Amino acid sequence: MTHIARIEDLRLLARRRVPKMFYDYADGGSWSESTYRANQSALEKIRFRQRVGVNIETRKLATEMVGHKVAMPVALAPIGMCGMQHADGEILAARAAEAFGVPFCLSTMSICSIEDVAASTTKPFWFQLYVMRDRQFVARLIDRARSAHCSALVVTLDLQIIGDRHKDARNGLSTPPKMTPRTVCDLLIRPRWCLSMLKTSRRRFGNIAGHVAGVSDMRSLSAWTNSQFDPTMTWEDLVWIRKLWSGPLILKGVMDQEDARRAMEVGADAIVVSNHGGRQLDGAPATIEVLPSIVEAVGDRIEVLFDGGVRTGQDVLRAVAFGARGVLLGRAYVYGLGAMGEVGVSQCLRIIEQELSLTMGFCGQTDIESVGRDILFEAEKL
C-alpha cells in the first residue's frame, strides 16, 4: 500500500490509476504551461514568520465563506469531467466535501448532473455556470440549480474562448475520445478504471445531454458544446444573471483590479482570483501575485476567494494571510479522486487541514479569522 502523506502522493497514485488522456487533462496547462507552473512556485516562495511562546494548543480553522459555515476556509473548485477521473466522480467528491464540512462546486461541464448530485447528497452545493451562447439554456440551468437548492452560483468569466492545451490535442481528448492503439493499450493496463466506467451509466456531460433539443448522441453533444462557449459575453450578461439569481453570486476568473470593481458594480457577493489553474492565458501572472492588489481594490465590500497552485495547507494560509476569505482546491482534490475516489478526496482534505493547523501554530496563530499579512516574513516587502 502506498504511503499517502502529501497531495503529491495522491498525484503519483492518480497518475498510475487514471488513463493518461484524463490524467493529462487534469495535470496540464495551456501552451508552455508557464502560468500553470508559476501559480505553485510563487506560492512556495512566500515565507512565514516563525513565532514562539504562544499557547497554541487549540487552533480554530472554522470560519464562513459567502455566509456558509465551513470547517476550514476551503471549497472544492469546479472541475469539468470529474466523472472521468473516477466513475461517478462528482458525486464522490461532493460526498467527501459534505462529510468534511466544506462546499463542493459542481461544474457546468460535469459528468454527473445537478439533479444527480443533489439526489446523492444531503447538503447544498455550489453550482458553476458557463454563460453559453444559448441564453435560454443558461436560464434553465440557473433554474435547475435553484430547484436543486444550490447555495451559491459561481459564474466563470475566463473561458469565453479556450486556451490551447497541447497535451489534450496529442492525447486525442475529445467527445467521444479518439481511440488509437496507444489509447486502447493505456486503458487495458488500467482495468480497475475501465470496470468502474463500464458499471456506471454516467459517461456524458450530464447537465447537457437530454437537456438541449437535437443533442442526443456523443457527436451532436460534442458539436453543440464546442460551439457554445461565448466570446460575446460581457458585464451586461452578469447584470441579467444577477436578476435571475438572488442567492450568493460568485464571479470566478478575476485577475485585475478594474474587473474586481466591475464585479462589485454588477452586484457580486464574492470573486475568485483565478487564472483557471494556468489553463487559459499562458503568461498571466501567478494568482498569488495579484491577490494583494485585488484585496486592496475591493476592501471588505465583497469577499475575495482564491485559487491556483494550492497544494498544501501552507498555501491556504498564505492566501488567507494576503486577505483571501477562502481558497478553492482544484487539482489537489482531483488527484485524490483519481487515486482513490471518495476516500482520496477525504484524504486530500485531511492532509490540507493538518498542514494548515500545524502551520498556524508555528506562526503563533490560534484562529484563522485573525490571520493577517503580519504572519508573513518581511511582509512589508510583499
Ligand X SMILES: Cc1cc2nc3c(=O)[nH]c(=O)nc-3n(C[C@H](O)[C@H](O)[C@H](O)COP(=O)(O)O)c2cc1C
User: Which residue ranges make up the site for ligand X (CB under 6 A)?
Assistant: 25-26, 39, 77-80, 107, 109, 128, 156, 252, 274, 276-277, 279, 307-310, 328-332, 334
* CA–CA gap between residue 71 and residue 68 (Å, rounded): 10
Query: Closest CB to ligand X among 318 and 331?
Result: 331
Give Cα separations from 319 to 41, 47, 90, 211, 315 (angstroms).
14, 12, 26, 38, 6
* CA–CA gap between residue 213 and residue 211 (Å, rounded): 7
* CA–CA gap between residue 349 and residue 31 (Å, rounded): 30
Provide, rounded to whole angstroms, the least separation between the CB of residue 366 and ligand X.
27
Give Cα separations from 296 to 258, 260, 261, 304 (angstroms).
11, 10, 11, 10
Query: Closest CB to ligand X among 141 and 329?
Result: 329
Provide, rounded to whole angstroms, the least separation between the CB of residue 79 and ligand X.
4
Query: Closest CB to ligand X among 63 and 156?
Result: 156
Provide, rounded to whole angstroms, the least separation between the CB of residue 153 and ligand X.
12
* CA–CA gap between residue 231 and residue 224 (Å, rounded): 15
Provide, rounded to whole angstroms, the least separation between the CB of residue 246 and ligand X.
21
Range list of H helices, 245-282: 257-265
Provide, rounded to whole angstroms, the least separation between the CB of residue 40 and ligand X.
7
Closest by CA to 311, choosing from 376, 341, 355, 273, is 355
Provide, rounded to whole angstroms, the least separation between the CB of residue 304 and ligand X.
14
Kind of pairing, strands 68-70 and 63-65? antiparallel
Query: Closest CB to ligand X among 106 and 365?
Result: 106
Q: DSSP label at 48?
A: B
Query: Closest CB to ligand X among 109 and 352?
Result: 109
Query: Closest CB to ligand X among 25 and 48?
Result: 25
Q: DSSP label at 380?
A: G
Q: Could you say which of 86, 166, 211, 276 is catalytic?
A: 276
Provide, rounded to whole angstroms, the least separation between the CB of residue 328 and ligand X.
6
| Structure-block grid coordinates of residue 342 | 471518495
Label residue 101 left, alpha or beta by phi (over 0 means left) and psi (-120 to 50 means alpha): left
Sequence-distant (6+) residues with CB within 8 A of 44 are none
| 276: annotated active-site residue | yes
Check if the beta carbon of residue 78 is closer than 8 Å to that of residue 156. yes
Query: Closest CB to ligand X among 26 and 271?
Result: 26
How long, in residues, is the chain? 382
Instruction: Give the 3-state secondary structure of residue 35.
Output: helix
Provide, rounded to whole angstroms, the least separation between the CB of residue 165 and ligand X.
10
Q: What is the 3-state secondary structure (H, E, C) of 299-325?
A: CCCCEEEEECCCCCHHHHHHHHHCCCC
Query: Closest CB to ligand X among 297 and 319?
Result: 319
Instruction: Report the residue closest to ligand X, judged by CB.
Output: 330
Closest by CA to 332, choosing from 62, 85, 2, 32, is 85
Check if the beta carbon of residue 66 is closer than 8 Å to that of residue 250. yes
List, by residue number, the catalytic residues.
276
